[in-house]
């Protein structure tokens, strides 16, 4: 791949985006886009700060860069926050996607849109790419609306539905579930997790590599990026403690329906990853293997 090929990554201060950027720096001219200040500097990286997610600011940065590919990770992904703040969630998750899809379509740039397993209702898992979304929370609804916009944006736009992503930040503070779990265990805090919510977790290394592979290839349509194991949150925590050899801790089950102000969650949004395993070189892994890789490949240090 030519080093001059331009990749723009939105939501650049986020967990998934940071790992994508860290792994793209050797092969791409990377342009990070965020609303916050740059986290680090690198010769292959140019950081752009947009004052808002509105059309004027996004179009200004886009026209400066004219990227070959955009990996769009930016979103408000906090399910409870989205439920309580629908206007903000729609602006970030739907309206921003619509602007980027239009810019990509008019310029011929490829768009890789990061969606979520939460577009499904959790009653008919495992879900294939052709299954009809039916979200049960507002976050999932915004992502489904954004998916429909991307699907109309031409053959150069594709949708990557990410399962629950587990891993460490590549740089800077960000929303990493695994980092929070490790910190909680090391400080002897009790962990609580529901037994009746199932996912197919994927490690952030595999997720970022797969997104870059989708960005560089001729792939189209919808891809499910997910691990091979169906686990509930309780089992997931048990595996993390066991594989990472963390200090013994108490993990208790919790009934999520008893948690006040908690938005609805789908019961089982396990994703069928057969398409990704068939068409991508990036392997989709069992969770134990994914955790082992995370312990070997420490967070990328940049700067």
Tokens representing 300 are 């990328």
Determine, yes or no, domain membership for 247: no
- CA–CA separation, 73 vs 15, rounded Å? 9
- DSSP class of residue 257 equals G
38-69 tens-digit pLDDT? 888 888 899 999 988 889 999 999 999 999 99
- CA–CA separation, 161 vs 226, rounded Å? 8
Determine, yes or no, domain membership for 1: no
CATH number at residue 26: 3.40.50.720
* Contacts (Cβ under 8 Å, ≥6 apart) of 212: 20, 23, 24, 27, 71
Measured at the CA of 85, the angle between CA 84 and CA 88, to 5 degrees, comes to 165
Judged against a pLDDT cut of 80, whether residue 227 lies above it is answered with: yes
Determine, yes or no, domain membership for 152: yes
Beta bridge partners of 221: 158
Determine, yes or no, domain membership for 245: no
Determine, yes or no, domain membership for 260: no
Determine, yes or no, domain membership for 181: no
Range of the domain at 36: 6-175+200-229+268-285
Determine, yes or no, domain membership for 95: yes
Q: Is the pTM of this model over 0.85?
A: yes
Q: Is 41 helix (H, G, I), strand (E, B) or coil?
A: coil
Q: Which residue shows structure tokens 């092969």? A: 27
277-301 tens-digit pLDDT? 999 999 999 999 999 999 887 544 4
If one counts the domains in the chain, the total is 1
């Amino acid at each position: 791949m030519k080093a001059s090929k331009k990749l723009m990554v939105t939501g650049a201060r986020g967990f998934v985006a940071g790992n994508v950027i860290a792994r793209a720096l050797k092969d791409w001219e990377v342009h990070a886009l965020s609303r916050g200040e740059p986290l680090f500097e690198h010769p292959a990286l140019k950081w752009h700060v947009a004052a808002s997610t509105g059309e004027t600011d996004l179009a200004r940065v886009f026209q400066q860069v004219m990227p070959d590919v955009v990996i769009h990770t930016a979103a408000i992904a906090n399910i409870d926050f989205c439920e309580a703040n629908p206007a903000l969630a729609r602006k970030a998750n739907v309206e921003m996607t619509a602007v980027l899809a239009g810019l990509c379509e008019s310029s011929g740039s490829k768009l890789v849109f990061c969606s979520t397993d939460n577009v499904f209702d959790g009653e008919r898992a495992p879900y294939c790419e052709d299954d009809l979304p039916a979200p049960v929370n507002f976050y999932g609804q915004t992502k489904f609306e954004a998916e429909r916009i991307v699907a109309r944006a031409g053959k150069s736009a594709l949708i990557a539905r990410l399962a629950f992503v587990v891993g460490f930040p590549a740089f800077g503070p960000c929303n990493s579930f695994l980092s929070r779990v490790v910190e909680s265990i090391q400080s002897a805090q009790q962990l609580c997790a529901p037994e009746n919510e199932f996912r197919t977790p994927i490690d952030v290394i595999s997720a970022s590599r797969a997104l870059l592979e989708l960005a560089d290839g001729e792939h189209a349509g919808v891809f499910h990026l997910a691990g091979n194991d169906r686990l509930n949150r309780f089992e997931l925590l048990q595996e993390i403690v066991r594989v990472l050899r963390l200090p013994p801790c108490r993990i208790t089950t919790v009934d999520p329906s008893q948690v006040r102000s908690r938005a609805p969650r789908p019961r089982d949004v396990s994703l069928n990853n057969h398409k990704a395993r068939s068409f991508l070189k990036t392997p989709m892994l069992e969770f134990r293997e994914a955790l082992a890789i995370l312990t070997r490949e420490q967070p990328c240090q940049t700067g």
